[in-house]
Amino acid sequence: MSGIVRAEMEIAVARNDPVVLQLQTDYIAEMRRHTEPYTVTRGGREYDVLPNVFPPYIDSEMIARVMHIEEGDDVLDVGSGSGFIAVNAAASAKHVVATDINPAAIETIRANAARHNVDDRLSAVQADVFPESKGAFDVVTFNPPFSDHAATDVVERSVWDPGHAAVRKFMAEIGEHLNPGGRIYISWADFADLQFFEELLGKHGMRYERIDEVTDGTSLFVAYKVTLEK
């Protein structure tokens, strides 16, 4: 049975799965446990991670693997965390803007841009989903917080997005930030209901295809390529 079929069969029980909730709680505790910057290795390279910042995971790696970036592309990485996706995009792109609501993430993105020698073409800005500056992008990437769950601070908002506010804002406003013919690479997870997510894409008139999936043994993460043309 393919992972996607398994995920669809499990949707009814997967939402707010207590096992996933415990794993997310542990991930948040791990983000808070560090008092000093540390490094993680992901995709064969080292990244700096400041305390209270989401360390790149297999879903981050999946998006970095599937995104197609051309030399002249302007890229936006929404909710960039450590900057893992943004730094990988900057290896090919003309320029990358990375946003995050977490100020510690902004510092981490800048550290990783410098570590990987792409700081001349990667800017990090603290923003709620989209940067305030005008200008559109050829490629937009987003590995979002998946779960509709209350969050007390920006650390918890790494994995919990109350009311799916960030994802709903992304869907509602992406049209203002994507150049004609532009492409979006975004992930979703089975425990947050793939059917809900695909219906949301559909409600916004988006065309989507599942282009990859990865599992950590508990959860299935799916990568989508999305375009706005009918």
Ligand X SMILES: C[S@@+](CC[C@H](N)C(=O)[O-])C[C@H]1O[C@@H](n2cnc3c(N)ncnc32)[C@H](O)[C@@H]1O
Residue ranges that bind ligand X, judged by CB under 6 A: 54, 56, 60, 79-82, 84-85, 99-102, 105, 128-129, 143-145, 154, 157-159, 161, 166
The tokens describing 85, both together, are 């996706």
Closer residue to ligand X (CB): 30 or 72 = 30
Closer residue to ligand X (CB): 2 or 164 = 164
What is the closest distance, in whole angstroms, from the C-beta atom of residue 145 to ligand X in the complex? 5
What is the closest distance, in whole angstroms, from the C-beta atom of residue 1 to ligand X in the complex? 27
Closer residue to ligand X (CB): 9 or 39 = 39
Closer residue to ligand X (CB): 99 or 219 = 99
What is the closest distance, in whole angstroms, from the C-beta atom of residue 168 to ligand X in the complex? 10
What is the closest distance, in whole angstroms, from the C-beta atom of residue 93 to ligand X in the complex? 16
CB-based contacts of 82, cutoff 8 Å, min separation 6:
40, 47, 48, 49, 53, 54, 55, 56, 60, 105, 108, 109, 112
